[in-house]
Amino acid sequence: MENKFAYNLKLLRQEEKLNQKQLATLVGVSQQCISEWENGKIEPTMSMLWKLADIFKISVDELIGRVD
């Protein structure tokens, strides 16, 4: 199964013209953590999902791909 979160995160980051390090600074994690999220190696905590959704001004559901 495709990891919608990983795909969406990378797409949103690129649309905002942020590199992984810049996003990591905004969220308060390492650049490696962003890379692992984007590659589907690890998943963020709920609080990190909320932070990411706020940064991109979307809902958590949209971020994780739970939208029709």
Q: What tens digit of pLDDT does each residue of 58-68 get?
A: 999 999 999 76
- Tens of pLDDT, residue by residue over 6-52, are 999 999 999 999 999 999 999 999 999 999 999 999 999 999 999 99
What range does the domain containing 35 cover?
A: 4-64
User: Closest Cα partner for 56 from 45, 39, 41, 5?
Assistant: 5
The whole-number pLDDT of residue 1 equals 46
Please, which residues have CB within 8 angstroms of residue 62's CB and are 6 or more apart in sequence?
Answer: 8, 53
Positive or negative, the Cα torsion across 45, 22, 35, 33? negative
Which CATH number does the domain housing residue 51 bear? 1.10.260.40
Domains of the chain: total: 1
| 3-class secondary structure, 22 | helix
Going by the DSSP 8-state scheme, the letter that residue 54 receives in this structure is: H
